[in-house]
Amino acid sequence: MWWRSASFILDRQQHQNRTVAPSPESFLLSSPPPMADSPLNPKSNISAYYQTRAAHHAVVTSDWLAQAQAAVGRHSDDDGSLGDDKGAAPIGGGGGGGEEEGSGKAFSVIDEFNSWRKQPALAEAVAAIRALAAVIRTSEATTMMELEIELKKASDSLKSWDTTSISLTAGCDLFMLYVTRTSALEYEDFNSAKSRLIERAEKFGEISCKARRIIAMLSQDFIFDGCTILVHGFSRVVLEVLKTAAENKKHFRVLCTGRPDRTGLRFSNELAKLDVPVKLLIDSAVAYTMDEVDVVLFGADGVVESGGIINMMGTFQIALVAHSMNKPVYVAAESYKFARHYPLDQKDMSPARRPIDFGVPIPSKVEVETSARDYTPPQYLTLLFTDLGVLTPSVISDELIQLYL
């Protein structure tokens, strides 16, 4: 990191010397996540969240999704408790493909989580929420305290699986708050309280699943006939929004960016299937084409307390260009992505790294900026479409205060 000093060579040497002997207090700073601890995630320094997305996008197309859903539908163990999934989001949300019957004793929340995660259209946080709901269902605790402790442990293990994913952490925290915050818990006996908790957990899971549909519906007013939309990377929420717009027979054009992990390419592939006119841009061509753009639409990896968003690298750049050319910037994000972080600048977040392939081997003395995400401050965003409604960035903190305090 270059600090504001020309002597960055000296600083870098000092930094290297210091990282050789890490001090215990530095856990408070942004240090790379301790990947060595969790055997389920052996690759160090690479953010698992972005690994997953890369893995998904390498293989996922809508045809594959349809086949996967059909396959899952054949194997589903319909034990009734997952029946609510059938009515939820049409893509991939159905079926209990992973829940093993009779796995009571050796129930592992991570296994459950992984089985949910295999459905590529399901967001990670939603998979975590479903896994936590399953924890409550299969819990053998006899008192509320025990149950809460079990939940907390499960939530912590899920969070430690990938410490760089903001939506995962936020989703787990919100689930815990939503589920345990019922005033009637003190009055009822344990079993009815437990069923109340299960009810709320299922409801939260359903809300999260349906969030994308709600966001798609809310954002239809902002996509008018003949507009040109600029998108960045591959966001499943944005895809849902544009799909709904196409189904409503709106005429619009989409410009896609998103190198070097080819997410823009994948997104344009999806849109081409919907018969939407698509144009691919390299990230550097955004300012060049901004004149033609009417609306900029992003997804988000996380929405932070200041009202800004954390999203794939390149978002901030596009938002800056759009802001200086007076184009509206909209963000489509589910409410479980609201996190209580407050980055003051780009380097104030915990780092998430991603391997970048330039196509040619890089000389050994050359450093590569491998951060996978950046922070867009709230003054560059116009509106956020969430399942809580269409919000301005300053309302995010309001919502968070109401949720957490």
Residues at the interface with other proteins (CB under 8 A): 3-5, 11, 15, 18, 23, 25-26, 28-30, 305-307, 340, 342, 344-345, 348, 378, 394, 397-398, 401-402, 404-405
Q: Rounded to the nearest whole angstrom, what is the least distance from the CB of residue 101 to other proteins in the complex?
A: 43
For other proteins, give the closer residue by CB, 235 or 335: 335
Q: Rounded to the nearest whole angstrom, what is the least distance from the CB of residue 158 to other proteins in the complex?
A: 23
For other proteins, give the closer residue by CB, 4 or 249: 4
Residues 6+ apart with CB under 8 A from 254: 228, 229, 230, 231, 242, 268, 271, 276, 277, 278, 279
For other proteins, give the closer residue by CB, 22 or 90: 22
Task: Lay out the sheet containing 383-386: strands in order across.
Answer: 278-280, 252-257, 227-232, 295-298, 329-332, 383-386, 389-391
For other proteins, give the closer residue by CB, 4 or 74: 4
Q: Rounded to the nearest whole angstrom, what is the least distance from the CB of residue 308 to other proteins in the complex?
A: 9
Residue among 309, 282, 236 nearest 52 (CA) = 236
For other proteins, give the closer residue by CB, 19 or 142: 19
Distance between CA atoms of 385 and 337, rounded to whole angstroms? 12
Torsion of CA 288, 231, 331, 329, to 10 degrees: 20
Say if residues 142 and 165 touch (Cβ distance below 8 Å): no
For other proteins, give the closer residue by CB, 18 or 152: 18
Q: Rounded to the nearest whole angstrom, what is the least distance from the CB of residue 23 to other proteins in the complex?
A: 6
For other proteins, give the closer residue by CB, 10 or 149: 10
Q: Rounded to the nearest whole angstrom, what is the least distance from the CB of residue 339 to other proteins in the complex?
A: 12
Q: Rounded to the nearest whole angstrom, what is the least distance from the CB of residue 5 to other proteins in the complex?
A: 8
| Length of the chain counted residue by residue | 405
For other proteins, give the closer residue by CB, 3 or 64: 3
Q: Rounded to the nearest whole angstrom, what is the least distance from the CB of residue 189 to other proteins in the complex?
A: 31
Say if residues 82 and 129 touch (Cβ distance below 8 Å): no
Could you identify the residue written with the tokens 């005033």? 183
Q: Rounded to the nearest whole angstrom, what is the least distance from the CB of residue 4 to other proteins in the complex?
A: 6
For other proteins, give the closer residue by CB, 196 or 340: 340
Q: Rounded to the nearest whole angstrom, what is the least distance from the CB of residue 181 to other proteins in the complex?
A: 16
For other proteins, give the closer residue by CB, 194 or 341: 341
For other proteins, give the closer residue by CB, 264 or 393: 393
Q: Rounded to the nearest whole angstrom, what is the least distance from the CB of residue 132 to other proteins in the complex?
A: 24
Q: What are 375's strand-pairing partners? A: 310
Q: Rounded to the nearest whole angstrom, what is the least distance from the CB of residue 379 to other proteins in the complex?
A: 9
